[in-house]
């Protein structure tokens, strides 16, 4: 049974989708980006309601939260893990998430490979690029990505689907552009010029950039997946 007090989600989704469509139309890139709803602050009930309103992808930041919600979610929901991931938490995610967004070390790739092999599955991942070169953040430095990509491409149970970046917080919205542009250039070099490097040949490579405050700039710079969280569930 649907609850009328979730109607704020309808209004929020309509507004976000209008912004997303306008940004896609003005980008001139011919890309219709997909919306991933970051559900860190949402209840399972809110997520199920949003799913009934056409949201397909949801991203969780913390493993305990994801596991707590997992059995309460509609089965057609596609769950992604979008937070920093410790190697000792990998086993809990295998088979439950469609995509891990935060592959940022060979050690983590080794853990994903081990547990995926044990489960008899291939696990899809995005490589995280530290576009702002921030020491306190995870992610591979842009200049280190070629060697990193070559190494993790050796793992048969790790399916590299693309890249993502978490740009630094910027006061001026236009300041995001340089970080997204550099990440887009990396994406083009590795996932369009060299499509044989992709594990899932039939699937479009993913470039995940942009959040609630920056997704329009990200779309203009080539993102085909954007994350929006609080803007969907705020009352």
The model's pLDDT over 46-97, given as tens digits with 9 standing for 90+, comes to: 999 999 999 999 999 999 999 999 999 999 899 999 999 999 999 999 999 9
Residue labelled with tokens 């995926």: 116
pLDDT, tens digit, 9 for 90 and up, residues 14-31: 999 999 999 999 988 878
C-alpha dihedral sign at 64, 124, 169, 144: positive
Domains of the chain: 4-233 (3.20.20.10)
Which position has the higher pLDDT, 45 or 196?
Answer: 45
Q: What percent of the chain clears pLDDT 70, i.e. is strictly above it?
A: 93
Q: Quick check: 169 pLDDT over 90?
A: no
The per-residue pLDDT for 186 is 93
Report the distance separating Cα 93 and Cα 62, nearest Å. 11
CA angle 214, 179, 229 (to 5 degrees): 30
For 9-12, the CB contacts below 8 A with 24+ separation are: 9/46, 9/49, 9/50, 9/53, 9/232, 9/233, 10/53, 12/231, 12/232, 12/233, 12/234
DSSP-derived letter for residue 176 is G
pTM: 0.91
Checking if the pLDDT of 192 tops 90, the result is no
């Amino acid at each position: 049974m649907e609850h009328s007090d979730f109607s704020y989600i309808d209004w929020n989704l309509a507004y976000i989708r209008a912004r997303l469509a306008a940004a896609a139309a003005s980008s001139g890139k011919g890309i219709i980006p997909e919306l991933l709803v970051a559900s860190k602050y949402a209840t399972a009930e809110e997520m199920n309601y949003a799913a009934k309103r056409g949201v397909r992808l949801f991203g969780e930041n913390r493993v305990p939260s994801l596991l707590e919600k997992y059995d309460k979610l509609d089965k057609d929901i596609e769950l992604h893990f979008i937070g920093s991931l410790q190697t000792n938490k990998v086993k809990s995610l295998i088979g439950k998430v469609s995509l891990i967004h935060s592959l940022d070390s060979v050690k983590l790739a080794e853990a994903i490979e081990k547990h995926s092999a044990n489960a008899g599955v291939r696990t899809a991942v995005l490589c995280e690029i530290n576009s702002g070169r921030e020491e306190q953040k995870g992610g591979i430095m842009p200049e280190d990505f070629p060697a990193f990509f070559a190494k993790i491409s050796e793992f048969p149970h790790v399916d590299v689907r693309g890249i993502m970046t978490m740009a630094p917080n910027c006061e001026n919205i236009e300041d995001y552009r340089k970080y997204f542009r550099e990440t887009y250039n990396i994406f083009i070099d590795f996932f369009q010029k060299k499509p044989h490097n992709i594990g899932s040949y039939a699937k479009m490579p993913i470039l995940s950039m942009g959040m609630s405050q920056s997704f329009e700039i990200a779309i203009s710079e080539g993102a085909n997946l954007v994350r929006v969280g609080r803007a969907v569930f705020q009352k």
